Amino acid sequence: MSPVSHHIPEDIIEAYASGALPHGFSVVVATHLSLCDSCRAVAEACDALGGVALESLGAEAAGMTPDRALREKTLALLDAPRAVPEDPKPMGIFPAAVAAELGAKGPAWRSIGAGIRQQILVDGREGSARLLSIPGGKAVPDHGHNGLEMTLVLQGSFHDVTGRYARGDVQVVTDDLEHTPTADPGPDCICLAATDAPLRFSAMIPRLLQRYFRI
């Protein structure tokens, strides 16, 4: 596993571990954890601390004291046959969390201009997550942000005013950054990006097209 230089902030990992993170961002975090030993260790520590805290509350305080009806229902569920879903498996450059969103057929790319392609994986009230494929040497139009954006590199690399990002690296930005991410020469830069608000493009044409492309 190649070393990761840009990590996810601990408060976001804690939100992920507690189940408080929107789904699109959770996909990014889960994918990064599969590629980053240090952040995975943080997530495991959060899980362990959460388990200790829950145990300390006691069964009654945690709402886990079953009455007779609940006990009977639980026993019935345990006796009933049930299918156990297989864990998702990685698919090429896509770790398991991304493969689970893609399904068996893999990405269905859609051109959004200038050689850049996308596939939307998650789109809802709390935000969206998408795959982006940017040809080597090409730049995403200059833009700012109206909220949080997390971008994880799966193949190739890109750079902007904040630095260079390669496989496993995550760029976390908020509304205080305006930038022009540019793919480095070489293979297409493929990223997983999650946002909770539309981007804020500087040029007219991207602004006109962003509703159509849902960015």
Q: Which of 159, 175, 156 is nearest to 167 (CA)?
A: 156
Residues for the chain: how many in total? Answer: 215
Q: How far apart are CA 145 and CA 68, in angstroms?
A: 52
DSSP 47-69: HHHHHHHHHHHHHHHTT----HH
Cβ-Cβ contacts under 8 Å for 52 (sequence gap 6 or more) = none
- Count Cα atoms within 13 angstroms, Cβ side, for 40: 10
Cα torsion 192, 145, 114, 151 to 10°: value is -20
Q: Is 21 helix (H, G, I), strand (E, B) or coil?
A: coil
φ/ψ bin of 103: left (φ > 0), alpha (ψ from -120 to 50), beta (otherwise): left
pLDDT by residue for the chain (215 residues), tens only, comes to: 558 999 999 999 999 999 999 999 999 999 999 999 999 999 999 988 765 554 555 545 555 554 555 455 444 544 544 443 356 789 999 999 999 999 888 899 999 988 999 999 999 889 999 999 999 999 999 999 899 999 999 999 999 999 999 999 999 999 889 999 999 999 999 999 999 998 788 877 777 776 767 77
Q: Cα 196 from chain centroid? A: 12
Give the domains, in start order, of the chain with CATH numbers.
104-213 (2.60.120.10)
Sort strands 199-201 and 189-195 into parallel, antiparallel or unpaired. Answer: unpaired
CA distance to 38, 46, 100, per residue, from 57 (Å): 29, 17, 34
